[in-house]
Chains A and B, each alone.
Chain A
Amino acid sequence: MARDSIPGRSLALGTTVTLVTLLVLIPLAVVGLTAGGMSGERLSAALLSPRALAAFRLTFGASLAAAALDVVLGTYVAWILVHYRFAGRPLLDALVDIPLALPTAVTGIALATLYSAHGWAGRVLEAHGLHVAYTALGVGLALAFVGFPFVVRTVQPVLATLPVDLDEAAASLGADRSTTIVRVTLPLLVPSMLAGFALALARALGEYGSVIFISGNMPLRTEIVPLLIVTRLEEFDYQGAAAIATVLLLASFGLLLAINTLQRRLTVARSGT
Chain B
Amino acid sequence: MRNKTLAAFFAVFFVALSPLAARADTADSLLNVSYDPTREFYSAYNDLFTKYWKAETGQSVSIKQSHGGSGAQARAVIEGLEADVVTLALAYDIDAIAEKGKLLSPDWAKRFPDNASPYTSTIVFLVRKGNPKHLHDWNDLTRDGVAVITPNPKTSGGARWNFLAAYSYGLRSNHLDDAKARAYVTALYKNVPVLDSGARGATTTFTERGIGDVLLAWENEAFLSLREHPGSFEIVVPKTSVLAEPPVAVVDVNAKKHGTEKLAEAYLRYLYSPAAQQLACDNGYRPRSISAYAHCKTHFPQIDLVTIASFGGWQTAQARFFADGGVFDQIYQPH
Contact = CB atoms under 8 A, between A and B. Distances in A.
B3 A217 contact: no
Interface stretch (B21-29, B201-209, B241-249, B298-306): B201-209
A232 to B, nearest CB: 8
Nearest to B201: A213
A34 B72 contact: no
A176 interface: no
A30 B197 CA distance: 27
Interface in A41-97: 45, 50-51
Question: Which label, helix, strand, loop or mixed, suits the secondary structure of the B interface?
Answer: loop
Contacts of B205: 112, 116
A218 B149 CA distance: 12
5 contacts: A112-B209, A118-B209, A232-B324, A235-B322, A238-B6
Nearest to A217: B195
Given A231-B154, A235-B324, A218 B194 contact: yes
A91 B2 CA distance: 50
B332 interface: yes
A112 to B, nearest CB: 7
B130 interface: no
A236 B332 contact: no
A109 interface: yes
Contact of A234 (B72, B100, B209): B72
Contact of A242 (B6, B96, B322, B324): B6
B252 interface: no
Interface residues of B, number: 34
Nearest first, the 4 closest Cβ-Cβ pairs linking A and B are A219-B332, A118-B210, A216-B194, A217-B195
Contacts of B7: 238
Contacts of B96: 236
B194 A134 contact: yes
A227 B209 contact: no
B9 A231 contact: no
A99 B333 CA distance: 36
A50 B323 contact: no
Contacts of B5: 30, 33-34
Contacts of A36: 2
B118 to A, nearest CB: 26
B302 to A, nearest CB: 34
A216 B2 contact: no
Interface residues of A, number: 37
A230 B155 CA distance: 8
Contacts of A27: 9
A216 B211 CA distance: 11
A116 B197 CA distance: 17
B152 interface: yes
Contacts of B325: 45
Most chain A CB within a 10 A radius of its CB, from B72, B204, B324: B324
Contacts of B201: 213
Contacts of A116: 205, 209-211
Interface string A3-36: 0000000000000000000000001001101101
A117 B193 CA distance: 12
A30 B324 contact: no
A240 interface: yes
Given A37-B2, A216-B195, A235 B332 contact: no
B194 A217 contact: yes
B94 to A, nearest CB: 13
Contacts of A30: 5-6, 9
A184 interface: no
Interface in B299-335: 322-325, 329, 332-334
A113 interface: yes
A212 interface: yes
A231 B197 CA distance: 9
A169 interface: no
Contact of A34 (B3, B155, B197, B333): B3
Interface in A92-109: 109
Nearest to A113: B209
Interface in A116-137: 116-119, 134
A109 B329 CA distance: 26
A240 B324 contact: yes
Contacts of B332: 51, 218-220
A168 interface: no
A251 interface: no
Contacts of A262: none
